[in-house]
Structure 1
């Protein structure tokens, strides 16, 4: 992963190539500069060429006007999740946001992810997410099956494969208002990305967590804060991989957790099964 902080230092007039015939134009950018102590939005005028994305422009600003601008990026192909930021207030990947989606006279504002502490400029400390990842118990393989003996229906494979497309850009974590607007919730709430992981494991037909005494539905509710989620679908809306986080993971997990905890028939069945034998 690259956190870039240096450039060539050439003037703004020398940016990029292209001319008016190729669609080049001058765009106005506002980029947040600062660190944990505070900062402000600074204005830049920078050339834009056909086919460019926001990350290209951030790199051009860095190369020509602000050589110490810090920005995290890596693949520039929408697969590493490193260049997450907020563009005009919406969590996006900078490398996947084309300049053509903005009007030429529009001011494009780029700020760091709001839900996480700023390190410097557009770089944030996303360590919260790795802490939450470690709190989710991993897949428990069935004891009676050895390597190479696992068998699943294709329907089950397809269902969990959707969740495996996650690139951990943490845009869903950033946009979730439970985390974004309430810092105090972070200790009790894992966020949509990791509740999705719990849901994936809970619906996995080969996961043998129950044989070890682990109830994933109960832990989702009691340890990972599933009840905090009020299914606004904001996480789904910003997912660059198009994962239906709310409809296919969080709502089904909520339904199973509620059935387990509140359904009177399930409650009665549990009581009957636990009745001591003489």
Structure 2
């Protein structure tokens, strides 16, 4: 079988210069998930975990890439269903959610079936659509992230707003919010999760199923949120309930289903410009 084409001006693999990411996972009723998955990716099957429940996730990414002409910064958020190719079910291990989240599926068939992707970089939107058959559309973000250049803490806040692509591939921002995501992970002990490469699934206009692995070169940090005392650690607010994204999230998450886990990745710093100091000087006449 031939490989999917790589149209100009794109080059693969795409190398990330830095990546900051947070994901939140929910175990939910499988019936709405199966219906939604069939509408977007008919050759995929939703994975089943505890009590036969399906797994959906939202993940936010902030990444930097260096090109021949300079650098670019991109933000995006994905709404995904954890799924596998329907013909490959016999190869899958039986896993709990916690085992999956920590990377126990070494077949890497359990991947993210992208349902909606919102992105603030028109070039990245085009790349996602043409290379990986991602359902990628414009949006923009206001965020608060853990940072070595900011206050101590492990709190992530992401607000996604509507946008369009204007003339000359420019992003035109709208003030209307789509959704808010918060993960308050302070005081929790993270587990190193060797879950990469992460397989991303897409279905192109001809109905062909694509799989695109993403390699992350250090472990993720996974937070177990399944116990009741952690039910308030994450919050999701959908503001545009009549949008495709809003309807699909509401259909599978219902009325405030608690998250079962969160996972983060932040690229380590490569340099630090430290505090200056005074040098002795001679008295001036």
What TM-score results when the alignment is normalised by the length of structure 2? Answer: 0.22
Going by fraction, where is helix more abundant, 1 or 2?
1
Structure ranking higher in strand proportion:
2
TM-score by length of 1: 0.22
> Which structure carries more relative contact order (alpha carbon 8 Å, separation 6+)?
2
